């Protein structure tokens, strides 16, 4: 199927209907003006060229309209988050009422755990994957402490087996079999930041609900990368950032999903703010809090418009490309990278990411025996922007909107050279 030569890579790019989207992004260049091979969309996505215009439009309305921009602007600021909802909902497989763009990822995670971590004296434990992104683990541990629970007692880690890198679903089943009557919440990353493993979200949700646990997911490495189908999955909540695969800029806002079955549940605890209040009476300041139905009801403050403008630019680009097309190219592009790595026949490298395309997104995590960060430094000097994770892993993520088959081919050639 695949071929290890540049002619093949060029032919694939020529036949790729998403290839023109590469020209819609700013690509980093070297000091001599040559395009670098950017494979780091799993850390920070590239900037769409339309982003500056979207932001300038809001700056112009601010300059020309002042406060009236809230209602009179080209895209009025008062309902601005609503301009993002439909496209974001499609990307995560949700109903628009279940999705809102707000805050940042860990803030949203805390807000969700206020509502969906409901410990009792006997059912109070939280399950996370053992190598979850540190911020998730910190957040979960702090929630346990907030409820007076020692994290050493309240936190259960879903671990790979000895000598393995990936978590097995059957081991999570075993945890639930042994501790299900003690577990209040499953809080799992949808796609692991280190290994690139994507977990079976629907099976995990069904397993949790079978044991009367609530279930949430961190989609930081999933949103814009895989299709989590959140509504059909049935998860109680999910959170994500937008600056990785969703290309919205450093530190940009996050997203939040709350399943529609919780849309009007007044019994849920929540930390609230005025932007989650009934829109019809929000500006009548003397009303008691009246939560908006759906995910919007978890909003706290009026949103930062300039960040949302950048998100809108990226979501419009996604909508134009079509997420099914993006995912289809992702499978092909990552498959080609895996093929080229296998072709190297180098015992020093080991791809720890699952080989099954259904169990990964576009990131491959390449473990290099006896390597240190000097290897990554050499790759950078050779014109590759990738990502190093201690102790010995290079993460590369050919993002289908702006990466090409040529990128993947030349990366493999450069990796061969630095491994010599």
Instruction: Give me the CATH number covering residue 185.
Output: 3.40.640.10
Residue at 69 is within a domain: no
Residues 384 and 261 both lie in one domain: no
Reading the block at residue 73, the tokens are 């602007």
Q: Identify the band that residue 383 occupies on the pLDDT scale cut at 50, 70 and 90.
A: very high
Reading the block at residue 156, the tokens are 């259960």
Whether the CB-CB separation of 99 and 238 falls below 8 Å is answered with no
**How many residues are listed for the chain in this entry?**
420
Residues 196 and 227 both lie in one domain: yes
Residues 296 and 360 both lie in one domain: no
Q: Quickly tell me which residue has 């080229």 as its tokens.
A: 340
Range of the domain at 396: 6-49+322-419
User: Smallest Cα–Cα separation from 156: which of 135, 134, 187, 117?
Assistant: 187
CA–CA distance, 81 with 183 (Å, rounded to integer): 35
Give me the numbers of helices (H) and strands (E) for the chain, helices first please: 14, 13
**What percent of the chain stands above pLDDT 70?**
100
Residue at 60 is within a domain: no
Q: How far is CA 203 from CA 170, 198, 232, in A?
A: 11, 12, 11
Q: Identify the band that residue 311 occupies on the pLDDT scale cut at 50, 70 and 90.
A: very high
Q: Across the chain, what does the average pLDDT equal? A: 97
pLDDT of res. 285: 82
Q: Strands across the sheet with 393-396, in order?
A: 349-351, 364-368, 393-396, 387-389
Residues 162 and 295 both lie in one domain: yes
As beta bridge partners, residue 101 has 255
Residue at 73 is within a domain: no
Mapped to the 3 state alphabet, what secondary structure does 36-99 carry? CEECECCCCCCCECCHHHHHHHHHHHHHHHHHHHHHHCCCCCCCCCHHHHHHHHHHHCCCHHHE
- pLDDT over 90 at 420, yes or no: no
Please give the distance of CA 322 from its chain centroid, rounded to a whole number: 18
pLDDT of res. 286: 87
Q: Identify the band that residue 371 occupies on the pLDDT scale cut at 50, 70 and 90.
A: confident
Residues 328 and 259 both lie in one domain: no
Which DSSP letter does residue 26 get? P
Residue 202 gets the label, from left (phi > 0), alpha (psi -120 to 50) or beta, of alpha
Residue at 270 is within a domain: yes
Contact residues for 67 (Cβ-Cβ < 8 A; gap 6+): none
Residues 175 and 292 both lie in one domain: yes
Residue at 205 is within a domain: yes
Render the burial of 203-235: b for 16+ CB within 10 Å, e for the rest.
Answer: ebbebbeebebbbbbbbbbbbbbbbbebbebbb
**What percent of the chain stands above pLDDT 90?**
97
The enclosing domain of 39 has a CATH number of: 3.90.1150.10
- pLDDT over 90 at 35, yes or no: yes
Reading the block at residue 40, the tokens are 């780091």
Q: Which tens digits make up the pLDDT trace of 94-111? A: 999 999 999 999 999 999
Residue 27 three-state SS: coil
Q: Taking the alpha carbons of 60, 62, 64, 65 in that order, is the dihedral positive or negative?
A: positive
- pLDDT over 90 at 2, yes or no: yes
- Out of 319, 346, 368, a domain closes at 319
**Mean of the pLDDT values across residues 110-129?**
98
Residues 263 and 376 both lie in one domain: no
Residue at 65 is within a domain: no
Residues 224 and 355 both lie in one domain: no
pLDDT of res. 1: 85
**Mean of the pLDDT values across residues 209-215?**
98
Residue at 209 is within a domain: yes
End-to-end Cα spacing for the chain:
28
pLDDT of res. 300: 97
pLDDT of res. 162: 96
Residues 210 and 355 both lie in one domain: no
Q: What is the dihedral of CA 215, 236, 188, 153, to 10 degrees?
A: -40
Which DSSP letter does residue 28 get? P
- Out of 251, 286, 319, a domain closes at 319
Residue at 279 is within a domain: yes
**Mean of the pLDDT values across residues 22-45?**
97
Residues 268 and 339 both lie in one domain: no
Q: How many domains does the chain have?
A: 2
Q: Which tens digits make up the pLDDT trace of 128-181? A: 999 999 999 999 999 999 999 999 999 999 999 999 999 999 999 999 999 999
Residues 292 and 348 both lie in one domain: no
- Out of 319, 346, 375, a domain closes at 319
pLDDT of res. 315: 98
As beta bridge partners, residue 29 has 35
Q: Which tens digits make up the pLDDT trace of 185-205? A: 999 999 999 999 999 999 999
Residues 283 and 376 both lie in one domain: no
Q: Which tens digits make up the pLDDT trace of 263-303? A: 999 899 999 999 999 999 999 888 899 999 999 999 999 99
Contact residues for 20 (Cβ-Cβ < 8 A; gap 6+): none
Q: What is the pTM of this model?
A: 0.96
């Amino acid at each position: 199927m695949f071929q290890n030569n540049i002619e093949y890579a060029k032919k694939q790019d020529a036949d790729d209907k998403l290839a023109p989207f590469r020209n819609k992004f700013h690509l980093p260049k070297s000091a001599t003006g040559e395009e670098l091979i950017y494979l780091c969309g799993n850390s920070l996505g590239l900037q769409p060229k339309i982003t500056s215009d979207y932001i300038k439009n809001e700056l112009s309305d601010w300059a020309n309209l002042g406060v009236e921009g809230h209602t009179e602007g080209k895209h009025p600021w008062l309902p601005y988050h609503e301009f993002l909802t439909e496209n974001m909902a499609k990307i995560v497989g949700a109903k628009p009422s279940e999705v809102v763009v707000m805050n940042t990822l860990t803030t949203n995670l805390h807000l969700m755990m206020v509502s969906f971590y409901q410990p009792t004296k006997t059912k109070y434990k939280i399950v996370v994957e053992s190598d979850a992104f540190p911020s998730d683990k910190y957040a979960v541990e702090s929630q346990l402490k907030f409820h007076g629970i020692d994290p050493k007692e309240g936190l259960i880690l879903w671990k790979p087996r000895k000598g393995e890198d990936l978590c097995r679903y059957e081991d999570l089943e075993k945890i639930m079999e042994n501790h299900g009557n003690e577990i209040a919440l499953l809080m799992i990353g949808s796609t692991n930041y280190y290994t690139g493993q994507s977990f079976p979200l629907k099976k995990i949700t069904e397993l949790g609900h079978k044991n009367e646990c609530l279930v949430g997911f961190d989609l930081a490495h999933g949103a814009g990368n895989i299709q989590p189908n959140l509504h059909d999955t049935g998860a109680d909540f999910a959170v994500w950032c937008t600056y990785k695969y969703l290309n919205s800029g450093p530190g940009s806002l996050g997203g939040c999903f709350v399943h529609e079955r919780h849309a009007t549940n007044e019994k849920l605890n929540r930390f609230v703010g005025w932007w989650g209040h009934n829109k019809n009476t929000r500006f009548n300041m003397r009303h008691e809090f009246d939560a908006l139905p759906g995910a919007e009801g978890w909003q706290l403050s009026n949103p930062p418009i300039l960040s949302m403008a950048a998100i809108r630019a990226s979501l419009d680009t996604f909508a134009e490309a079509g997420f099914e097309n993006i995912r289809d190219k992702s499978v092909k592009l990552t498959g080609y990278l895996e093929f080229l790595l296998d072709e190297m026949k180098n015992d020093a490298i080991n791809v720890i990411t699952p080989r099954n395309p259904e169990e990964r997104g576009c990131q491959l995590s390449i473990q290099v025996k006896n390597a240190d960060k000097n290897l990554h430094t050499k790759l950078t000097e050779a014109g590759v922007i990738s990502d190093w994770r201690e102790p010995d892993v290079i993460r590369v993520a050919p993002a289908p909107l702006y990466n090409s088959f040529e990128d993947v081919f030349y990366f493999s050639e450069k990796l061969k050279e630095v491994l010599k």
